[in-house]
């Protein structure tokens, strides 16, 4: 099995003490040469966690960045600022941002362009709601969300792009997609990328996210087009996160 890419999404959780303890425990458990673990932490803690990760194999990521360059955009965070703080990844278009904060496909696409220009690897989240799945619209929704990005992304970005398929109904609910259902959507995404990128599509990591836990990680990661996971709730518990990393074959 190929080594998987495992990205933690801490969401709006943490604090100085909790972050220190969690990061220390993860650093202790992940081998020095792992090279495919990412911690995406809240903006205010990037410097703290970044300092702890220095010299380790674990990368730092953020959970959002602006579609604008620096300027009069109160409350926004520019992609270049994240790079300065040591980030190499950024989650963009998470369903919580789309649903709770009204981010549109075009906005997500513009953010991806800025992130790539700054040198970040964007983890672009796509996924259908429960209603859309029930209406048989899963592939259509995922395609629309991803095409918006691919339409404006520069060609050179394909080497940096990461896609996370995250069915909205599976996020934080304890109801993961079955490995078979997730694989079916991943294969569809791979095909879409193949039409755009040709053989380069193979190199785009496709992560699955939505209630990945130690108990279901191995079965999900065994699927040929699931290249890793975006982990929310379970990434806040060191033991669970490390067990998921182990399921992704990152521990040796
Ligand atoms: C997420 O927020 O990206 C996520 C997948 O959350 P959870 O693992 O808690 O479902």
| Residue pLDDT, tens place only, 31-70 | 776 669 999 999 999 999 999 999 999 999 999 999 999 9
User: For ligand 1, atom 1, which residue shows the shortest CA distance?
Assistant: 232
Handedness of CA 117, 157, 112, 177 (dihedral sign): negative
Question: Could you write out the three-class secondary structure of 2-42?
Answer: CCCEEEEECCCCCCHHHHHHHHHHHHHHCCCCCCCEEEECC
Pocket of ligand 1 (CB under 6 A): 9, 11, 166, 171-172, 209-212, 230-234
Q: Which is the closest atom of ligand 1 to the Cα of 171? A: 10
The catalytically annotated residue of 94, 96, 103, 186 is 94
5-247 CATH: 3.20.20.70
Banded model confidence at residue 169, pLDDT cuts 50, 70, 90: very high
Find the DSSP H helices in 62-104. 79-84, 95-101
Question: Could you write out the three-class secondary structure of 171-191?
Answer: CCCCCCCCHHHHHHHHHHHHH
Higher pLDDT: 249 or 252? It is 249
Structure tokens given for 98: 């789309």
Q: Is 62 helix (H, G, I), strand (E, B) or coil?
A: strand
User: For ligand 1, atom 2, which residue shows the shortest CA distance?
Assistant: 232
- Cβ atoms within 10 Å, residue 67: 20
Q: Distance, CA 51 to ligand 1 centroid (Å)?
A: 25
In this prediction, residue 248 carries a pLDDT of: 86
Kind of pairing between the strands at 162-165 and 121-126: parallel
Q: What is the per-residue pLDDT across 78-102, written as a single tens digit (0 to 9) for each?
A: 999 999 999 999 999 999 999 999 9
d(CA 141, CA 147): 10
d(CA 116, CA 88): 10
Q: Is 224 helix (H, G, I), strand (E, B) or coil?
A: coil
Question: Under a CB-based contact definition with an 8 Å cutoff, are residues 228 and 7 in contact?
Answer: yes
The catalytically annotated residue of 78, 96, 166, 186 is 166
pTM for this one?
0.97
Instruction: Enumerate the domain spans of the chain.
Output: 5-247
């Amino acid at each position: 099995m190929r080594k998987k890419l495992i990205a933690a999404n801490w969401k709006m959780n943490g604090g100085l003490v909790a972050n220190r303890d969690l990061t220390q425990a993860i650093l202790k458990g992940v081998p020095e040469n792992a090279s495919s673990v990412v911690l995406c932490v809240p903006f205010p803690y990037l410097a703290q966690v970044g300092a702890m990760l220095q010299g380790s194999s674990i990368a730092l990521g953020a959970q959002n960045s602006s579609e604008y360059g620096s300027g009069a955009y109160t409350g926004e965070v520019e992609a270049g600022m994240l790079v300065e703080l040591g980030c190499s990844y950024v989650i963009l278009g998470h369903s919580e941002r789309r649903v709770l904060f009204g981010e549109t496909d075009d906005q997500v696409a513009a953010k991806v362009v800025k992130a790539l220009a700054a040198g970040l690897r964007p983890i672009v989240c796509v996924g259908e709601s429960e209603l859309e799945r029930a209406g048989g619209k899963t592939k259509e929704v995922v395609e629309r969300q991803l095409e918006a990005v691919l339409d404006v992304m520069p060609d050179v970005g394909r080497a940096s792009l990461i896609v996370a398929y995250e069915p909205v109904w599976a996020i934080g609910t304890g109801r993961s997609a079955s490995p078979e259902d997730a694989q079916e959507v991943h294969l569809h995404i791979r095909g879409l990328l193949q039409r755009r990128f040709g053989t380069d599509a193979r190199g785009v990591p496709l992560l699955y996210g939505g209630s990945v836990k130690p108990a279901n990680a191995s079965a999900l990661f065994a699927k040929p087009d699931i290249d890793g996971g975006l982990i929310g709730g379970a990434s806040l518990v060191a033991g669970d996160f490390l067990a998921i990393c182990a399921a992704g074959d990152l521990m040796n």
